[in-house]
Amino acid sequence: ICVLSLSLLRTENRDLEDAFSRFAKSGRLVEANVATDRETGRSRGFGFVKFESKQDADDAVAQMDGADLDGRNVRVNVSRPGGGRGRGRGRGGGGYGGYGRGGGRGYGGG
């Protein structure tokens, strides 16, 4: 799952995990990561959440899209395989049932 419009100053990995963990009913929340700038370490304003269960991922998208997180209305949608922009960064997988960085299967992108 891709989470957009995150707070650049406040939202961290733990905040994403806390906000989305309540949707992990059929499986577990595999990972929650806020993308950060390589040089500054600051948030880039988006992140990714991955669930074991497709149903949990679908529920999270339906209920969190437009919700308030750290004072921002976030956009939440299903990640497309390969990032959806054709840049090909070599991460592979993503989307439902794709392979994330850990090599394990998960739902919601990566």
Q: What is the pLDDT of residues 40-99, one digit of tens each?
A: 999 999 999 999 999 999 999 999 999 999 999 999 999 877 655 544 444 444 444 433
- pLDDT tens digit string along 10-54? 999 999 999 999 999 988 999 999 999 999 999 999 999 999 999
Local structure of 55: helix, strand or coil: helix
Q: In the prediction, which pLDDT does 103 show?
A: 47
Concatenating the DSSP letter of every residue in 9-32 gives TT--HHHHHHHHGGG-SSS-EEEE
CB 70 within 8 A of CB 80: no
Q: In the prediction, which pLDDT does 97 show?
A: 42
Q: In the prediction, which pLDDT does 100 show?
A: 42
**CA nearest 51: which of 24, 18, 16, 70?**
24
